[in-house]
Amino acid sequence: MVTVEVCIGSACYVRGSNQVVNLLNDMIREKNWSDQVALKGSFCMKACQNHIGLGIRVNGKMVPGVTLQNAREMVEKEVSEALA
What is the rounded CA–CA span in Å between residue 79 and residue 60? 12
Residue 83: CB minimum distance to another protein, A: 21
Q: Is the Cβ–Cβ distance between 83 and 38 less than 8 Å?
A: no
Residue 9: CB minimum distance to another protein, A: 6
42 - beta bridge partners? 7
Contact pattern from residue 45 through residue 64 relative to another protein, giving x for each residue in contact according to CB under 8 A and a dash for the rest = ---xx---------------
Give CA torsion, residues 5, 10, 12, 15, to 10 deg.
Answer: 140
Does the protein bind another protein through residue 21 (CB under 8 A)? yes
Contacts with another protein, residue ranges (CB under 8 A): 6, 8-11, 13-14, 17-19, 21-22, 25, 39-44, 48-49
